[in-house]
Amino acid sequence: MLSGTLQTHQGTYGPGSFVWFPEGGSMEHGATEDGDCTFLFVTNKPFDIHHLHPTT
């Protein structure tokens, strides 16, 4: 986590946190209602993102 707060199905993480999701699992994540978040996403395999609640 670089800035802000990331809310996931496993908990809430702030700046400086390292968050790991095991391979092959589904995950839910996003910014909190308090504001945006910036994070670095690293993977070595193809992945897909599905937005559950697209903004309009």
User: Which tens digit of pLDDT belongs to each residue from 11-53?
Assistant: 999 999 999 888 877 778 888 888 999 988 888 888 777 777 6
Write down the pLDDT at residue 18.
93
How far is the C-alpha of 10 from the C-alpha of 24, rounded, in Å?
16
How far is the C-alpha of 26 from the C-alpha of 44, rounded, in Å?
16
| Residues in Cβ contact with 36 at an 8 Å cutoff, skipping those fewer than 6 apart | 4
How far is the C-alpha of 21 from the C-alpha of 11, rounded, in Å?
12
The pLDDT of residue 10 is above 80: yes
Write down the pLDDT at residue 47.
77
What six digits make up the tokens of 23? 């391979």
How far is the C-alpha of 20 from the C-alpha of 29, rounded, in Å?
12
